[in-house]
Amino acid sequence: MIVHHLYSGGKDSSLSAWILTRLGYEVRLVTVSFGTLDNWRFARETAERLGFEHQVLYLPREVLERAADMAVSDGHPNNAIQFIHEQALEALASLPEVERVSDGTRRDDRVPFLDLPRARSLEDRFNVAYIRPLLGLGYKTIRELTERLFVVEIRESEELEKADYEVELRHVLRERGIDPLEIFPKRHYQSRVLGWRGEET
Amino acid sequence: MIVHHLYSGGKDSSLSAWILTRLGYEVRLVTVSFGTLDNWRFARETAERLGFEHQVLYLPREVLERAADMAVSDGHPNNAIQFIHEQALEALASLPEVERVSDGTRRDDRVPFLDLPRARSLEDRFNVAYIRPLLGLGYKTIRELTERLFVVEIRESEELEKADYEVELRHVLRERGIDPLEIFPKRHYQSRVLGWRGEET
């Protein structure tokens, strides 16, 4: 039972990947890139430390440009992030070898998040199962599992050390002469999974 | 890490219990009873076959009577089932030794189901974590895991062999001289977990 899991190298997508292995799935981690930067390498590095197979899924540059249009027009990034995530899930689900897709979205997330009709639509249109291991967990449970499992580095924000969509979105905004800080909320800290805490290898 | 898991002996609550153990939790199964019948024994029997600790949580008879009022007034059982489930979660969460509560509700369930504000309210009011292992799984995933794990018996409906809320609700309706078939949709088959398929014991 192989599952293709959208992976950023962060805590949530790492915890989800671990849960999938505990349920008996063979997990293939997949990081989305638009090819404007190589920040997907941070996800690969974490994937290797955790012992997972990892691949990059390139999405068309137009998807990123359209997301940037949305972010500029809205003045905030939520719809843009949602749009990219849906495009990523659809691109992954449409690959012929893919039967199950997964991500690290949480119960308490606003974006990216597929509501029930969208989740079912994804499954039906692409004939896949869509698995969200964190959906039934609250922040306390996610925190206790993450702390038990992973060594996490928390440091002041240096965006290029992450492999999430936001980094390339910020990059393309800067290319357009727009300061991403006008659109994205400021974040002082970010976290990155460095490896297993010990008992899991 | 102990979790108290609402348990009927059915496929969904059994699968949820297994997932919780795979995540490293020590699982205590809890079956609700109003004391009008001893159908909780079916849940205990399955719990013992699966090797879990099991206890019965008695709820006040008034809860069942109020649920019956709702079912009669509505002409269908949805609000009544929802009401009982919320009362069960709250009663469990309010026990002093309980830090984590769990159930087998699914992404595709209409009732019983706690929406996000209700789920957060439960966690906040009782200072517990609320874990729903099946919430992020669709029917395909639940089916493939269930088939891999459990021996399931499917037979024509004989209501007394289940330990879900419905059985006592039907019973109290019958006591009032009301035919439950006027309120509940007809079901021809039901399933019951008999034990592990083999690799899990």
Residues A196 and A146 sit within 8 Å (Cβ to Cβ) = no
Residue found under tokens 């972010």 = A71
Q: At what angle do helices B165-175 and B61-74 cross, to 10 degrees?
A: 80
pLDDT of A158: 56
Smallest Cβ–Cβ distance between A129 and the set B130, B141, B148 belongs to: B141
Nearest CA in chain A to B117: A108
* CB < 8 Å to B100, chain A: 141
Residue pLDDT tens, chain A, 201 long: 999 999 999 999 999 999 999 999 999 999 999 999 999 999 999 999 999 999 999 999 999 999 999 999 999 999 999 999 999 999 999 999 999 999 999 998 888 999 999 999 999 999 999 999 999 999 999 999 999 999 998 876 655 578 889 999 999 999 999 999 999 887 667 778 999 998 655
Per residue in A8-31, is it b (16+ CB within 10 Å) or e — as a string?
bbbbbbbbbbbbbbebebebbbbb
Work out the angle at residue B102's Cα, subtended by the Cα atoms of residues B10 and B20, and round it to the nearest 5 degrees: 80
pLDDT in tens, B16-38: 999 999 999 999 999 999 999 99
Answer yes or no: do B129 and A123 touch at CB < 8 A: no
Distances (CA, A) of B47 to A26, B5, B8, B23: 29, 11, 9, 19
CB pairs under 8 A between A and B: 69
Domain boundaries in chain A? 2-196
- Whether B126 and chain A come into contact, CB under 8 Å, resolves to no
**Which amino acid is residue B186, in one-letter code?**
K
Q: Can you read off the two tokens belonging to residue A156?
A: 């002041």
Q: Does an H or E element contain A100, and which? A: strand A100-102
Q: Can you read off the two tokens belonging to residue A140?
A: 């306390």
Q: What is the ipTM of this complex?
A: 0.94
Q: A66 by DSSP, 3-state: which?
A: helix
Phi, then psi, of B133 in degrees rounded to 5: -60, -25
Superfamily of A2-196 according to CATH: HUPs (3.40.50.620)
Residues A55 and A3 sit within 8 Å (Cβ to Cβ) = no
Answer yes or no: do B135 and A135 touch at CB < 8 A: yes
Residues B159 and B200 sit within 8 Å (Cβ to Cβ) = no
In sequence order, the 6+-apart residues with CB closer than 8 A to the CB of A152 are: A11, A146, A191, A192, A193, A194
